[in-house]
Amino acid sequence: MTSLDVLVVDDDAGDRKLVRRLLGTAFPGANVREARNEAEAFSGDTKEPDAALIDYRLPGSNGFELLSELKQRWPGTSCIILSGSGDEEIAKEAIRHGASDYIPKRLLNEAALKRMINHALQLARMKEKLDERRRELEVFADVLVHDLKAPIRAVSFLTEELEDGLRDGQRDDAPETLALLKRSADQMRALVDSLACHVRADRDIEFERASLRDILDTALWALNRPVTEAGACIEADVQDCTLLVCKPQLAQLFQNVIGNAIKYAGPRRPVIGISTRRGSKGELQIEISDNGVGIAEGYVERVFETFTRAPSDGSVKGSGLGLATCRKIAMRHGGQIWCKSEVGAGTTVILELPEATVVTPPPVQDAVDAPPGRLEPSRQGAIT
């Protein structure tokens, strides 16, 4: 790990020198910062270190006091307590105060230090994921309760209206009431489906070889109805290649992005372009652009956050999970996703997948033919 950043707090210069030497051997390229006491540890505009090695005995205090302060200021830092003795009580206190490990200085060596820091970083990553999942579940529950209340109330009210009308022999309003009931049911189903997709994006996935063209075609087949109803024009200039990916999840990503382009088209007929290109480091970039209403500048980055939606006139329904799910899927493939947008002019979403994802490169030609009626290169016409 060349980017490892470590803080060493010890009043003994010899011990600090030993720890620095061991760290340099165990983690070549690591950035090591030394401090003799608490004041030096927090001096200046210091970024949060990945790990901190803290001496149990410090001038005027002990390592536990510094440990508590450090965990409060830098909750993501993994802390290891060093001690001149091998007291088991100190070890227990260290863990109780939030340290990930404890070791007597006489047992310090390269292997032990490497093992402890790797273990500490692994624990920190697990804790971060658990904290993120806990926060997400809290919001998840709040959104689920809030967003389901309205359609449930509507179903309850419409059912009573239908029941009263049938009891009184008034059947003329029944078709309209049933249509409203169906719309409420569709709203609830859409919310539950969106939440389910978001949760499934966290599960263990199996990677397989799949054609990029086939993945895009799968997404377009799923969107056949909204594409037809909106009269959307899909223009594609896609260089086909074989990817090592989770095909259902990547198809879901494309489905979410293209579906958004249709939903947020505004008064214009949706025109959506899909293109690919290779980056300077071999990465594959897939761009999906539209001519929709666009996203306000302050929301361009936030739209990929969980349960965040850009401001609109309220006519477009959604849970704010579609693009957040896309980001999860991109990250699980070692990639990233972002967008560029201009209000009133449209949005371009860019998915970047690392070179390792591309099993076979695209052919030399500019584009590939697609199955009739589906993903078709722009030079041969658009899908309508």
- pLDDT tens, position by position, 204-248: 667 889 999 999 998 898 888 889 889 999 998 888 889 998 888
Would you kindly state where each structural domain of the chain is located, as residue ranges?
5-108, 132-200, 208-380
Closest CA to 150 of 324, 263, 314: 314
Q: At 384, is the pLDDT very low, low, confident or very high (cuts 50, 70, 90)? A: very low
H helix count then E strand count, the chain: 10, 15
For residue 248, the surrounding DSSP H or E stretch is helix 247-263
Q: 208-380: what fold?
A: Heat Shock Protein 90 (3.30.565)
Burial of 281 from C-beta contacts in 10 A (0-12 / 13-18 / 19+): exposed
Residue 286 has pLDDT above 90, yes or no: yes
Half-sphere exposure of 4 (CA within 13 A, CB side): 23
CATH code assigned to 5-108: 3.40.50.2300
**Best-predicted range by mean pLDDT among 38-42, 211-215, 297-301?**
211-215
Half-sphere exposure of 362 (CA within 13 A, CB side): 23
Alpha-carbon distance of 69 to 52, in angstroms, equals 12
- pLDDT tens, position by position, 186-212: 767 766 765 665 566 556 667 889 999
